[in-house]
Structures are given as structure tokens and as C-alpha cells.
Amino acid sequence: MVANPHLLSLSEQARLIREGSLTAVELVQSHIDQISKLNPRLNSLIAVDSEGALKEAAEVDTARERGEKLGPLAGVTLGVKDAVPVKGMAWTINSRLFEDRAPDDDAPSIARLKEAGAIVIGKANLNEFFSKPTEADLNPPPWNPWNPERMSVGSSSGSGAALAARMSSGTIGVDGGGSVRLPAGAHNLYGIKPTHGLVSRIGVGRSEHSEICPLGITALDTAMMLEAMVGHEPADDLSWPGEIPAYTANIEADVASWRIGVPRAFIDSTPNEPEVMEGFEKFLNKLKELGCEIVDIEIQGMAEARAATFLTLFSNSYQRHQKTVKTDWDTYGDQSRVNLLQGAFLSSTDLINAGDVGRAFKKYFSNLLKEHKLKGIATPTSPFATAERSRRRGEHSRGVNACYTAPFNISGHPSISVPAGFGEAGIPVGAMLTGELHDDLSLLQLAHAYDQATNWNTLTPEI
């Protein structure tokens, strides 16, 4: 029997289950115990299916005993952001409008994870309709396990908090402007926003630049989940029909001599907190130790691309809610309902302008990588070390917390947040790598090399 299996990485758990050293039932029970112990305090998960998870785990164990071939994720558990439908489980988007809703089908990305053997143990808390959290939300915001006096950064806040507290093997979030990479950074986790179209967006509505993404304790965990999620979905008109390389089989790479660009002038123009920059410089030093060549570059259009991303998000959001804000205004949270109206003030020309700017930035950024022969660029994940700072009036409305992340939603480039240390409040800070379209593998390889050379994934919150 393996002691405290919930503390192991997803890849270790999956290996031990395949080998028979750990049963899926033991792992699920370990996660259930952790949820029972910590979730009442942290509020990371807003629905838990212990019975269903144990039943599925028993089926995995029976299949192994019969000598059947197990999927790569057989027996590991997932917490899924409650914006993504999981058959038979709550699907509230943390709104009273959907308090009693449960979907009939899984989102295709979830179906693929289940096909690989993963067990969904619960739905993770989030900001109502990806907006600004308040205590009056259907489920109050989760607390960060690294400092339970502080709120978790969102909008995939529960996905970050649940995994940091080891309530599941991995988690799934949705990133429309940074909502996976930001919580990954703030919870000492790896979180990748894949190239647009690799993972079907079916299930999260018409948010054209929002991606369903995995968060993992290690880079390898993240790669394993992503590998299970990707693939062409004919029903999704934005789904990528081309070939996708195997991530986990190719995760080991010699990254020596890889060129990584650092947009210093842009980074210096943002209100980075000192501990963010301290973590970022250590991250760059570690890349240098791995043999990477760090190159100063100039980047343009980050502010414009961020604006284009948010205008598109505002429009998508209002379009979906245009009828219910009229009829059910008082059922919405008082923060999200006002935020949802922003898109109502845009003209069709404004939206087309934003699309054109996004396409221009997409082309420009790919050319920038090519021109400088870069595998990617490195930035902090967020300028801020706490959720409170990122939600400060004025800065939140300008999307300052997403100044590094949001440009790459409209451009569609892959982007991964990796752990980079801790701030004064004990909250983790992240660093981010962004690479060429459809070269997600290089980012995963680089993150994996960094993961192997650091000890962030061995640290757990003392709670």
C-alpha cells in the first residue's frame, strides 16, 4: 500500500495503478479524504461525486486484474471547472441562473479524458460567468491553500486551489484571457493554454478564444492530460484537423541552445511587484543553467492584442446573456451582471476592428519568433503576487493582471505558466513561456526540463 497517494504526481499515480502497486480505489479514497478534510475551509470544489468516483475506480481495478489494457490516465482523478459540462454532474458556472442544471453529455474534451481512464471526482469553483468574484456568489470564492486568508486567483480559481490542496490528481480550467495560466501561477502549478483549436471548445459556448486547459502538479502531468484532450471534433468549426505530435513520448528533450526571447522594455512598463520579478529572474537563470540562450527582444502590440481579446470576450458574453439580463437581472451576482453588459456598447465595426488587430498581432508574433529564431518568449505570468492586488479597482477594469496572458488568447499561440517562487504573502508566483502556433510540444519539453531541474512540484501547502 502506498502512503498518501494523493501527494504523488498524476503521472506517478497512473504508473503505480498500471503496475498494481496502488489501486484506483485507494487513490480515489485518498482524494475523498483530502476533500473532506480541506474543502469545507477552502471551498475549492462546489460538487463532489464520491460514490460515482469510487464505482469508476473499482471498474479500473477490475479491468487491471483481468489483464485488460488500461488508458494512460486510468484511475487518476480530475476536478473540472464548473463551466465545463460533465455528464450528470452540476453545471452552474457558479450562477443562481443554473443552480439546478446538470448536462446530459460530457464536453468532448472531458469525454476524451474519460476515454483515457480519468475519473471526474468533482466540479471546481469559479467566478460567476468568469467575472469578478464576490462573497454573495452562489458559491463564495475559494481560498488559496498556500495562504487560506487570501482568495484564489481566477477565474479557474477552484481548479488551482483544489489541485494545490491535492484534492485531485489534476484539474481542468478554461482560459479566455489568462484564467488558467493566472491560477496556475498563483498555486505553484503548471497550466497550459494550447494552440487554438487543438482542444474542442464545445461545452463552453461561443467564446472563440477561450480554451479548455489542463493544470498539473508537474509539466509531465499537464502534457498527459493535454494529450488526452486534443483531437479533431468535426462538430466544432474551429477544431484543428491536422496532425498533433505525441507529447508524453517526446517530452524529454535537450533544450541546450534553445533561444528564448525576453521582452524587457515591455516587462519594465508593467507594475510588477518585486517578488514577481525576483521569481522571474530566478526562472531565467534556471533556463540559462539548462543551456538556453536568453535574448533581449522588443515586442509591440501587447496592449492592443490584450484590448482585442477583451473586446471579443465582452461581445461573446453579452451576446449569450442579452435575453436573461432583461428577465433575470436580480438572479445574477451584482458584479457579474454589470460586467456582462460591457459588450452591449460595442458596434459591429468595433468587433471587426478587434478581430483585424488580433489577426495582425498573430501574424506579427509568429514572424517575431521566426525572425529571432526563438523557441518562445518568457514573461512573468502576472505582474501581481496576490489576487487582492489584481482585483484593485481601475487595474482590474483595464485587465492589468492579464497584460502578459490575454494577448495570446486572440492570437491563439500556445502559452504555459510554470512555478517561479513565492511572494511575501506566501502566495506562489508564476513565469510564462509562449511559443509558435502548433509547437505546444516545445513548450512542454522546456517546462519539463525546468520542472526536472527545480523542486517546485515537491512543495505542498501546510494546511
Partner 1 sequence: MEYRTDEQVIARARQIAPLSDEDLKPLLTLVNGVREYCDLMESLMPELGGEIDVTKMSRNMDGDA
Contact residues toward partner 1 (CB under 8 A) are 265-266, 269-271, 298-304, 307-308, 310-311, 314, 322, 325-326, 329, 334, 337-339, 341-342, 344-347, 350, 353-354, 356-357, 360-361, 363-364, 393-394, 397-398, 400, 403
Q: Specify the DSSP class assigned to residue 20.
A: T
**Cβ-based nearer residue to partner 1, 255 or 311:** 311
Q: Specify the DSSP class assigned to residue 70.
A: P
Least distance in angstroms from the C-beta of 305 to partner 1:
8
Least distance in angstroms from the C-beta of 156 to partner 1:
22
**Cβ-based nearer residue to partner 1, 164 or 302:** 302
Q: Helices 10-19 & 219-229, crossing angle to 10 degrees?
A: 70
**Cβ-based nearer residue to partner 1, 182 or 354:** 354
Q: Specify the DSSP class assigned to residue 271.
A: -
Least distance in angstroms from the C-beta of 365 to partner 1:
9
**Cβ-based nearer residue to partner 1, 55 or 363:** 363
Q: How many CB atoms lie within 10 A of CB 266?
A: 19
Residue for cell digits 453529455?
105
Least distance in angstroms from the C-beta of 263 to partner 1:
9
Q: Which helix (H) or strand (E) holds 11?
A: helix 10-19
Do 182 and 173 contact (CB within 8 A), yes or no?
no
Least distance in angstroms from the C-beta of 195 to partner 1:
21
**Cβ-based nearer residue to partner 1, 33 or 298:** 298
CA quadruple 204, 209, 212, 216: dihedral sign: negative
**Cβ-based nearer residue to partner 1, 342 or 452:** 342
**Cβ-based nearer residue to partner 1, 230 or 276:** 276
Collect all residues with Cβ–Cβ distance below 8 Å to 115 and sequence separation of at least 6: 71, 228
Least distance in angstroms from the C-beta of 339 to partner 1:
7
**Cβ-based nearer residue to partner 1, 66 or 393:** 393
Least distance in angstroms from the C-beta of 268 to partner 1:
9
Least distance in angstroms from the C-beta of 342 to partner 1:
5
- Residue 38 CA, distance from chain mean position: 21
Collect all residues with Cβ–Cβ distance below 8 Å to 93 and sequence separation of at least 6: 82, 83, 126, 128, 129, 130
Q: Which helix (H) or strand (E) holds 376?
A: strand 376-380
**Cβ-based nearer residue to partner 1, 201 or 337:** 337
d(CA 229, CA 453): 27
Q: Specify the DSSP class assigned to residue 109.
A: H
Is residue 211 packed enough to be buried (19+ CB in 10 Å), middle (13-18) or exposed (0-12)? buried
Judged by DSSP in three states, 26 sits in: helix
Collect all residues with Cβ–Cβ distance below 8 Å to 207 and sequence separation of at least 6: 174, 176, 201, 313, 316, 317
Q: Which helix (H) or strand (E) holds 433?
A: strand 428-435
**Cβ-based nearer residue to partner 1, 377 or 444:** 377
Least distance in angstroms from the C-beta of 319 to partner 1:
12
Question: Is residue 162 left, alpha or beta, with left meaning phi > 0 and alpha meaning psi from -120 to 50?
Answer: alpha
**Cβ-based nearer residue to partner 1, 245 or 271:** 271
CA quadruple 430, 435, 438, 440: dihedral sign: negative
C-alpha cell at 51: 460514490
CA angle 142, 145, 151 (to 5 degrees): 40
Least distance in angstroms from the C-beta of 431 to partner 1:
17
Least distance in angstroms from the C-beta of 437 to partner 1:
17
